[in-house]
């Protein structure tokens, strides 16, 4: 199989050299070319036919957003990874880029990082993203698991919605959360793999689009219906019973699945706190985070939905959950919000009927 051809677009000579050297270390990746501006990149694409593009956000002339817009017009399916700074402005522009069709993003190493550390970080993170988006990392989910749910219908009343997602997640959340009504009867907790700043701005963005109130999580906050909490970057988020209330907790325990926040700690905690009264949803994302936690939810009697492969940017996380724990239903992205509403409403109706018979 030929190597994945990558076009690196950045106005900084230092960054272009750093990325070129990092990518050269992988035999599965070939540096097809570099470009110092958006205009040069657009001219080079038909000449070198890259499989993936890395695109800087802040460039003179055509900036990253403008270049991305033109790429999406001409090459709607060409994977584009945005390179952003770990600043508030960089985070805001990155979220805008993702909403405009960027496939993924990577934050540039901070000024405090040594060149050697920067090389290690870029090599591990960027090469994994490139190979996944180019289709070189495939799901190993057995066909029988991918095509059938393996359990009896869920009958317990749903008391919490827990969502895990990563690559492609901001757009998936923007599709699902705004479709939930203001009177949604259960609290919602979300882990989206993102660094600090990014998670707060994601919460603010979703809050402006949604009927529900969306917040970046704060420790000690009681869970209430009609509210959504997103785990803050660099903190695991869990839930815990405190008397008659359930509250949010944050910690900086070691990363799990190379992630902090990670989905697994959240899923384990909701399984402990709510038992069979959990509805978990795992959407698009690279890796396998959420698979072990979903198994806890399944063992506790909770329900699990996963996004289907076709509508996922990357089917790593949903596929891993399906392999590890199975699912009550496999949904396209456009079906997820309605399936959530149907299951929450149905569980309340069943609970009321059972209560009236007692």
Is residue 75 one of the residues assigned to a domain? yes
Buried b (16+ CB within 10 A) or exposed e, 241-275: eeeeebbbbbeeeeebbebbbbbbbbbbbbbebbe
Task: Name the residue range of residue 237's domain.
Answer: 144-357
Do 192 and 264 belong to one domain?
A: yes
Q: Are residues 30 and 93 in the same domain?
A: yes
pLDDT of residue 147: 43
Q: Choosing from 51, 104, 264, 289, which is the catalytic residue?
A: 289
Residue 126 phi, psi dihedral angles, 5° rounding: -70, -40
The question of whether 208 is a catalytic residue gets the answer no
Q: What is the C-alpha to C-alpha distance for residues 177 and 166, in angstroms, rounded to an integer?
A: 15
Specify whether 210 is catalytic: no
10-residue mean pLDDT series, the chain (358 residues): 95 90 90 96 97 94 96 97 88 95 87 65 87 77 47 80 97 98 97 96 98 98 98 98 95 97 98 97 96 97 97 96 94 98 82 49
Q: Are residues 100 and 181 in the same domain?
A: no
Predicted pLDDT at 148: 43
- What pLDDT score was predicted for residue 253? 98
In a domain? residue 139: no
Residue 299's contacts (CB-CB under 8 Å, 6 or more residues apart) are: 271
Residues 193 and 308 in one domain: yes
Residues 171 and 200 in one domain: yes
Q: Are residues 196 and 129 in the same domain?
A: no
332 is catalytic: no
Catalytically annotated residue among 166, 269, 311, 347: 166
Does 319 fall in a domain?
yes
pLDDT computed for residue 259 by the predictor: 96
The answer as to whether 138 is a domain residue is no
| Residue 93 domain-assigned (yes or no) | yes
Count of structural domains within the chain: 2
Please give the Cα distance from 344 to 8 (Å, whole number).
Answer: 46
Active-site residue (options: 193, 215, 236, 277): 193
Q: How far apart are CA 319 and CA 339, in angstroms?
A: 19
The whole-number pLDDT of residue 84 equals 86
Phi, psi (deg, nearest 5) at residue 166: -145, -115
Looking at the structure, tell me whether residues 322 and 173 fall in a common domain.
yes
Domain match, 202 and 339 both: yes
Q: ∠ at Cα 259 (257, 261), nearest 5°? A: 125
116 and 152 share a domain? Answer: no
pLDDT at 138: 58
Query: What is the domain-level CATH number for residue 84?
Result: 3.40.50.2300
* Shared-domain flag, residues 196 and 294: yes
């Amino acid at each position: 199989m030929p190597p994945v051809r990558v076009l690196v677009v950045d106005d900084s000579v230092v960054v272009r050299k750093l990325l070129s050297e990092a990518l050269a270390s992988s035999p599965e990746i070939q540096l097809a070319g570099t470009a110092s501006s958006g205009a040069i990149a657009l001219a080079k694409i038909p000449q070198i036919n890259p499989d993936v593009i890395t695109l800087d956000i802040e460039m003179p002339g055509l900036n990253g957003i403008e270049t991305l817009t033109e790429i999406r017009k001409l090459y709607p399916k060409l994977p584009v990874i945005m390179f952003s700074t770990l600043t508030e402005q960089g985070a805001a522009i990155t979220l805008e880029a993702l909403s405009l069709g960027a496939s993924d993003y990577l934050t540039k190493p901070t000024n405090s990082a040594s060149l050697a550390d920067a090389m290690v970080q870029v090599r591990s993170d960027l090469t994994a993203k490139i190979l996944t988006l180019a289709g070189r990392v495939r799901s190993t989910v057995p066909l029988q698991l991918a095509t059938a749910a393996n359990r009896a219908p869920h009958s317990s009343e749903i008391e919490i919605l827990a969502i895990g997602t990563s690559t492609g997640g901001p757009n998936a959340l923007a599709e699902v959360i705004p479709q939930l009504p203001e009177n949604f009867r259960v609290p919602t907790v979300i882990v989206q793999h993102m660094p600090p700043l990014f998670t707060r701005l994601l919460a603010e963005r979703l809050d402006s689009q949604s009927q529900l109130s969306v917040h970046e999580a704060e420790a000690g906050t009681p869970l209430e219906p009609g509210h959504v909490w997103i785990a803050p970057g660099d903190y695991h988020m869990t839930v815990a019973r405190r008397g008659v209330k359930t509250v949010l907790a944050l910690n900086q325990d070691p990363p799990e699945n190379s992630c902090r926040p990670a989905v697994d700690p959240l899923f384990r905690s909701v399984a402990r706190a709510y038992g069979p009264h959990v509805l978990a949803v795992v959407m698009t994302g690279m890796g396998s985070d959420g698979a072990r936690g979903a198994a806890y939810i399944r063992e506790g009697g909770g329900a699990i939905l996963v996004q289907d492969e076709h509508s996922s940017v990357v089917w790593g996380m949903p596929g891993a959950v399906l392999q590890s724990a199975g699912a009550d239903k496999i949904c396209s992205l456009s079906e997820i919000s309605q399936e959530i509403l149907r299951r929450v409403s149905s569980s309340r109706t069943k609970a009321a009927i059972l209560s009236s018979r007692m």
